[in-house]
Amino acid sequence: MISSPETQSGLQHTLKSEIGCSGTGLHTGETVSILLKPAAVNTGIVFRRTDQIGNGAEIRALVENVVEATLCTTLGNEDGINVATVEHLLAALAGCLIDNVIVEVKGSEIPIMDGSAEPFVFLIECAGIVAQDAPRRIIEVLKRVDVEIDGREVSLSPGYGFSVGFEIDFDSDAIGRQDMNVRLVNGTFKGEISRARTFGFAEEVDQLRRMGLALGGTLDNAVVVSGSEILNDEGLRYEDEFVRHKILDCVGDLYLAGAPISGHFQGYRSGHAMNHEIVRALFADPTAWRYTEMPMAVEPLIERAPIAATA
C-alpha cells in the first residue's frame, strides 16, 4: 500500500484502519452495527453478515445481486442472505474513492444514521484512506443508453469524468419540481451531496409500516413532508435537499456497476429500480462501454489524464 495525504485518483484505494458504528435500521427498526475493514486490491465492496454462519454470509456489491428496490436497495445472495439500505454507504464509498472494503454487518440492514451519507463520509475520513499499488479500473461509457418506464426516464452517455443530472417532480407544494446538475470531482460529493437526507410523506407512514417498512423512521433520520410543511424542527439543509438526496441515491446505486463510471447520468423521476436498470442496460450492450484503467501518476481530482483501454 501507498500511504499519502494526497488522493491518487489513478490508483485503487482502501481504508487505513478499521472503523465501525451502530444505529437504527430505517425499515426494520432494529439496532444494527457495521464495521468497515481494509481490503486487498481488486476485492471490491463486499458485505459480510457477521450474524450469519458460513461462507454464504458474503454478498458482493454488484447490480446482479440486487434482490429488491422498494424504497431502498437490497442485496442478496443465492443462499437467501440479504442486506438492505446499502445505497447511502455505497454513495459515501464512491464519493471518497474507496475501491476495496469489507463491510461487516450485524443485522439485515445498514444503519440509517441521520438519513444522509455524511456520517459514513465522516467514518471513512476518520479511518483514513490509503492508495494501493494497482490502477483503478473504470467503466467508460462509449454511447448513450436509455431506459424509460411509466414516464420515468434515465440515460447514461459519454462524458468527461462522472456527472449527474437529475430532475424530480412531486405533486407536493413542499417539493414540487427540482433539478440539479453536478460533476462529481474535487470533493463535490462531500460538499454538495452527502448531507442531503432521505425523505418521506407523513400520510404514507401508516401504510408503509403495515408493509413492514419504515419501522425505524423518525424525524431524526428523515425529512418528513406533510402537505406544504416540513415537519422537522430544523427544516431543510438545502432548499433543494430532495433532488440532492436523489442524486446521492443514484451515486450509491451506480456504484453497483462494480467500478466507477466515466460518463453522464441523466434521470427524470428515477428511483432505485431505474438506477439499477440503466446499469443493466449498459452492460447488456457490449458496444456501449469498455473497461479502462486510470494512469498511475498522482493528479488532482478536478482534472484527469487520458485513459487507456484495457481488455
Q: Known catalytic residues?
A: 272
Name residue 140's beta-bridge partners.
Answer: 262, 290
Residue 104 host element (H or E) = strand 101-106
Rounded distance between C-alpha atoms, residue 28 and residue 142, angstroms: 40
Residue 7 CA from chain centroid, whole number: 20
Kindly give, in sequence order, each residue whose CB lies less than 8 Å from that of residue 117, ignoring residues fewer than 6 positions away: 88, 89, 91, 92, 95, 189, 193, 194, 195, 248, 252
Q: How far apart are CA 244 and CA 196, in angstroms?
A: 6
Q: Which helix (H) or strand (E) holds 131?
A: strand 129-135
3-state secondary structure of 275: helix
The Cβ of residue 214 has, within 10 Å, a number of other Cβ atoms equal to: 21
Transcribe 156-210 into DSSP letters.
Answer: EE--SSEEEEEEEE-S-TTT-EEEEEEE--TTHIIIIITTPPPEEEGGGHHHHHH
Give the count of beta carbons closer than 10 Å to the beta carbon of residue 177. 9
